[in-house]
């Protein structure tokens, strides 16, 4: 009701405002250029800080006229500059304002303006461009459409502190892809911007620093160049270290730490370099402390997670620095009960950052626990850690879910935790749920975690099976993504390890032999390896071997032959020979080999191979075939003797490799008995 009553009033106010706005626009069309100038100046004063007014002027068509005036040489320097200032002010408004400006082709017009000789005008254009480009609604590609723009911007860097600030800010917001990095790099961004790091202006320093952080991110070429750059006789990395000093503004410390992190991850700085170990890492840990703003804590934790991800030594140092693991537990306490009471603004702020905080903490925990068992233990012992992960897995925010599952994955590498905390908290439940329908990156992580949960010693294995994991995993093997196919088949492999007959048959049935053979010819070698692993796990214990070989023997023998003939690496061949050895361990299955001359020749060939692993696997296979006390062993021994295997075995007993030697001797004994 209240709304209805208020409505007419609003309209009348609006019409008044529109009328006054129209006056401003009308004045832009005055024939007297002096009056136009005064009109633009009045407009400038009217729109400052007034989003309503800005929107009105845009609706009333002020933008095309301003752009026209800006582009006319006849307008005169002052008018053109004032036009750029007003446009810049309009761009400061809402996203819709920026959209309208971009739609009016403001960017090419302003870029054209940069060719002017008048510094004030250039600065006004740059300022407006900056405002437009830092908006998320502006396509950054617009900066790169005209190839002449970047070199011209580089040349303008020397004009004034303002041009430096604005141009660096434009670069750091418009450098989103490796291609952008390369373009800027090729136009000398590093040389042109490096000396700005020691500018007297803090703003210029900061924007230059941000430029380097986006340029170096995941870019070895830029990073390798950066380490050798000297600024006023000082190495760039030392300049960054200085910017991380604790009395410097937080923003500067954090951004400098990012630069060094990216350079380190790109391989340009060693992970044991003092500037990483004693400076960057502690700086980033400080950024995670309670004293920092929520945004800074998010940024700090994410950057630290990225820095230490591949290096166990850095993980160990981080884990003992300033109680980081306990510090991160605070990330889950937003919005706090206090913030809800104190004021609504704070609550809003906390709510906005709560997801970001949680996902950042999960990411950092994931990195911390990636390799070291002690650290994993410390993480899990943190208050309510498993509960937090479990609830994180089912949060609405994809970012949080992904980070939570990453964290879980990292922790799932611990055998001890799989047996204890993981079981206590039934993490498999939300994990299975997550696998039902999730975006690919979540799926990759979740299925990878599932692989670990399906390890034979894991108590989660049973309930996961019961919840229909087999079908789910089989469907993953049909995915487009190699990573998902690997994880699917890997999980099946783990599931089949020492499994009961029923499970193995279920797997075979659900996967279907067609799919199994498709996977055996998968272009991804990891998929092939895990599929062979699955076969090997399926073909274990004699009754299982015989049963599977009786139903699928022909296809399996075909596939084995194919792989042994194909161009594959040693590991693949070894795995295949192991499968043969398993088949040779069957009772009835043995015949499938014995009747296959081709296979026997191949085994013979691999017994004489230069690679010990292959020799070993092949010998194992023969050893199984000639094993005494089994039906028909005598015939098999004779047949194989005829084929010359005894001579080979004899030769192998002289092998320098002790295990191969042992294996051959054991086999020879079968003949002697």
Mapped onto helix, strand or coil, the DSSP state of residue 329 is helix
Nearer to another protein, 105 or 323 (CB): 323
Nearer to another protein, 238 or 245 (CB): 245
User: From residue 114, how far is each of 117, 153, 160, 626 by CA, in Å?
Assistant: 8, 8, 13, 86
Q: Segment near another protein (CB under 8 A), from 255-263, 292-300, 320-328, 349-357?
A: 320-328
* 33, 76, 108, 282: which one binds another protein (CB under 8 A): 282
Q: Segment near another protein (CB under 8 A), from 7-15, 100-108, 231-239, 319-327?
A: 319-327
Provide the minimum distance between the beta carbon of 623 and another protein in the complex, in angstroms, as a whole number.
50
The verdict on 317 binding another protein (CB under 8 A) reads yes
Q: Segment near another protein (CB under 8 A), from 67-75, 228-236, 315-323, 488-496?
A: 315-323
Q: 3-state SS of 95-133?
A: HHHHHHHHHCCHHHHHHHHCCCCCHHHHHHHHHHHHHHH
Q: Are 583 and 536 in contact (CB under 8 A)?
A: no
Q: Segment near another protein (CB under 8 A), from 43-51, 106-114, 239-247, 388-396?
A: 239-247
Q: Are 633 and 626 in contact (CB under 8 A)?
A: yes
- In our burial notation (b when 16+ CB lie closer than 10 A, e otherwise), range 237-270 reads bebbbebbeeebebbbbbbbbbbbbbbbbbebbe
Dihedral over alpha carbons 465, 471, 474, 479 (to 10 degrees):
-120
Q: Segment near another protein (CB under 8 A), from 213-221, 242-250, 470-478, 626-634?
A: 242-250
Provide the minimum distance between the beta carbon of 245 and another protein in the complex, in angstroms, as a whole number.
6
**Largest Cα–Cα separation, the chain:** 118
* 45, 245, 521, 611: which one binds another protein (CB under 8 A): 245
The verdict on 252 binding another protein (CB under 8 A) reads no
Q: Are 386 and 424 in contact (CB under 8 A)?
A: yes
* 50, 321, 467, 666: which one binds another protein (CB under 8 A): 321
- 455 burial (CB, 10 Å; 0-12 / 13-18 / 19+) is middle
Nearer to another protein, 322 or 343 (CB): 322
Provide the minimum distance between the beta carbon of 451 and another protein in the complex, in angstroms, as a whole number.
32
Provide the minimum distance between the beta carbon of 204 and another protein in the complex, in angstroms, as a whole number.
21
Provide the minimum distance between the beta carbon of 377 and another protein in the complex, in angstroms, as a whole number.
12
Q: Are 398 and 392 in contact (CB under 8 A)?
A: no
The verdict on 268 binding another protein (CB under 8 A) reads no
C-alpha 298/C-alpha 75 separation (Å) is 48
Token pair in block for residue 122: 């250039």
* 6, 16, 322, 343: which one binds another protein (CB under 8 A): 322
Q: Segment near another protein (CB under 8 A), from 109-117, 243-251, 428-436, 613-621?
A: 243-251
Nearer to another protein, 71 or 321 (CB): 321
The verdict on 247 binding another protein (CB under 8 A) reads yes
Window 483 to 542, contacts with another protein (CB under 8 A) = none
551 to 590: interface string for another protein, x by CB under 8 A: ----------------------------------------
Nearer to another protein, 321 or 540 (CB): 321
Provide the minimum distance between the beta carbon of 353 and another protein in the complex, in angstroms, as a whole number.
24
**Tell me, what DSSP letter sits at residue 192?**
H
Nearer to another protein, 173 or 279 (CB): 279
Residue that has been written with the tokens 């192998």 in this structure: 652
Q: Segment near another protein (CB under 8 A), from 163-171, 313-321, 350-358, 591-599?
A: 313-321
The verdict on 271 binding another protein (CB under 8 A) reads no
Provide the minimum distance between the beta carbon of 406 and another protein in the complex, in angstroms, as a whole number.
25
Nearer to another protein, 278 or 415 (CB): 278
Nearer to another protein, 246 or 345 (CB): 246
Nearer to another protein, 312 or 320 (CB): 320
- In our burial notation (b when 16+ CB lie closer than 10 A, e otherwise), range 79-93 reads bbbbbbbbbbbbbbb
| DSSP assignment string, 209-274 | HHHHHHHHTT-HHHHHHHHT-EETTEEHHHHHHHHTSTTS-HHHHHHHHHHHHHHHHTTSS-TT-H
The verdict on 246 binding another protein (CB under 8 A) reads yes
Token pair in block for residue 14: 């609006």
Nearer to another protein, 270 or 323 (CB): 323
Nearer to another protein, 282 or 459 (CB): 282
- 357 burial (CB, 10 Å; 0-12 / 13-18 / 19+) is buried
Nearer to another protein, 182 or 289 (CB): 289
Backbone angles phi, psi at 160, to 5 degrees: -160, 170
195 to 224: interface string for another protein, x by CB under 8 A: ------------------------------
* 115, 320, 415, 612: which one binds another protein (CB under 8 A): 320
Nearer to another protein, 326 or 415 (CB): 326
Provide the minimum distance between the beta carbon of 285 and another protein in the complex, in angstroms, as a whole number.
8
Token pair in block for residue 558: 């075909």
C-alpha 668/C-alpha 359 separation (Å) is 61
Q: Are 473 and 492 in contact (CB under 8 A)?
A: yes
**Count of residues of this chain found to bind another protein when the rule CB under 8 A is applied:** 10
**Percent of the chain as helix, strand, coil, to the nearest 5:** 75, 0, 25
Q: What angle do CA 453, 469, 421 make, to 5 degrees?
A: 25
State the Rg of the chain over Cα: 34
Provide the minimum distance between the beta carbon of 287 and another protein in the complex, in angstroms, as a whole number.
13
* 10, 176, 270, 323: which one binds another protein (CB under 8 A): 323
The verdict on 270 binding another protein (CB under 8 A) reads no
Provide the minimum distance between the beta carbon of 256 and another protein in the complex, in angstroms, as a whole number.
13
* 278, 293, 338, 415: which one binds another protein (CB under 8 A): 278
Q: Segment near another protein (CB under 8 A), from 186-194, 316-324, 497-505, 614-622?
A: 316-324
Give strand pairing partners of 230.
235
Provide the minimum distance between the beta carbon of 205 and another protein in the complex, in angstroms, as a whole number.
17
Dihedral over alpha carbons 65, 70, 73, 79 (to 10 degrees):
100
| Angle between helices 597-607 and 570-584 in degrees, nearest 10 | 120
Provide the minimum distance between the beta carbon of 323 and another protein in the complex, in angstroms, as a whole number.
4
| DSSP assignment string, 647-673 | HHHHHHTT-SSHHHHHHHHHHHHHHH-
Residues at the site binding another protein, with contacts judged by CB under 8 A? 245-247, 278, 282, 317, 320-323
């Amino acid at each position: 009701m209240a709304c209805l009553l208020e409505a007419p009033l609003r309209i009348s106010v609006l019409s008044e405002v529109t009328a006054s706005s129209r006056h401003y626009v009308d004045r832009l069309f005055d024939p007297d250029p002096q009056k136009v100038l005064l009109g633009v100046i009045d407009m400038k004063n009217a729109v400052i800080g007034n989003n309503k007014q800005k929107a009105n002027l845009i609706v009333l068509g002020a933008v095309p006229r301003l752009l026209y005036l800006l582009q006319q040489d006849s307008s005169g320097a002052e008018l053109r500059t004032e036009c750029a200032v007003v446009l810049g002010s309009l761009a400061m408004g809402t996203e819709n304002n920026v959209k309208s400006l971009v739609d009016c082709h403001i960017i090419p017009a302003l870029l054209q303006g940069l060719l002017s000789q008048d510094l004030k005008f250039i600065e006004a254009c740059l300022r407006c461009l900056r405002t437009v480009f830092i908006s998320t609604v502006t396509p950054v590609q617009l900066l790169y459409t005209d190839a002449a723009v970047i070199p011209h911007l580089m040349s303008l860097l020397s004009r004034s502190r303002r041009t430096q600030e604005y141009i660096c800010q434009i670069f750091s917001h418009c450098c989103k892809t490796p291609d952008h990095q390369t373009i800027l790099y090729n136009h000398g961004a590093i040389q042109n911007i490096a000396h700005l790091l020691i500018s007297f202006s803090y703003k210029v320093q900061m924007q230059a620093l941000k430029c380097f952080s986006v340029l170096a991110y995941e870019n070895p070429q830029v990073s390798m160049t950066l380490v050798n750059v000297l600024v006023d006789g000082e190495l760039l990395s030392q300049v960054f270290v200085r910017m991380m000093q604790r009395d410097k503004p937080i923003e500067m410390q954090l951004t400098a730490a990012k630069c060094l992190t990216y350079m380190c991850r790109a391989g340009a700085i060693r992970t044991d370099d003092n500037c990483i170990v004693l400076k960057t890492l502690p700086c980033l840990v400080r950024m995670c402390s309670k004293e920092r703003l929520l945004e800074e804590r998010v940024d700090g934790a994410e950057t630290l997670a990225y820095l230490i991800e591949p290096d166990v030594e850095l993980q160990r140092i981080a884990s003992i620095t300033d109680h980081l693991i306990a510090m991160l537990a605070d990330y889950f306490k937003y919005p706090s009960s206090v913030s809800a009471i104190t004021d609504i603004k704070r609550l809003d702020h906390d709510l906005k950052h709560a997801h970001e905080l949680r996902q950042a903490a999960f990411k950092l925990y994931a990195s911390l626990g990636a390799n070291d068992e002690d650290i994993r233990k410390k993480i899990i012992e943190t208050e309510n850690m498993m509960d937090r992960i479990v609830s994180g897995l089912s949060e609405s925010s994809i970012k949080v879910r992904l980070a939570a599952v990453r964290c879980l994955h990292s922790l799932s590498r611990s055998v001890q935790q799989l047996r204890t905390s993981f079981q206590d908290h039934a993490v498999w439940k939300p994990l299975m749920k997550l696998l039902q329908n999730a975006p690919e990156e979540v799926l990759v992580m979740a299925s990878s975690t599932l692989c670990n949960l399906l390890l034979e010693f894991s108590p989660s294995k049973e309930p996961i099976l019961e919840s229909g994991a087999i079908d789910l995993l089989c469907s993953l093997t049909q995915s487009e993504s190699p990573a998902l196919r690997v994880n699917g088949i890997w999980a099946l492999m783990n599931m089949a390890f020492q499994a009961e007959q029923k499970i193995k048959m279920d797997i075979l049935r659900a996967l279907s032999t067609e799919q199994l053979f498709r996977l055996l010819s998968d272009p991804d070698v990891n998929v092939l390896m895990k599929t062979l692993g699955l076969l090997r796990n399926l073909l274990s214990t004699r009754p299982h071997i015989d049963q599977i070989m009786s139903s699928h023997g022909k296809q399996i023998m075909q596939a084995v032959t194919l792989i042994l003939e194909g161009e594959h690496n040693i590991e693949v061949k070894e795995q295949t020979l192991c499968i043969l050895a398993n088949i040779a361990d069957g009772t009835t299955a043995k015949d499938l080999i014995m009747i296959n001359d081709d296979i026997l020749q191949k085994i013979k060939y691999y017994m004489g191979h230069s690679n010990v692993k292959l020799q070993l696997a092949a010998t194992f296979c023969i050893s199984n075939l000639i094993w005494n006390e089994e039906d028909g062993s005598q015939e098999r021994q004779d047949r194989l003797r005829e084929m010359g295997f005894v001579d080979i075995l004899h030769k192998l007993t002289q092998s320098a490799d002790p295990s191969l030697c042992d294996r051959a001797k054991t086999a020879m004994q079968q003949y002697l008995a």
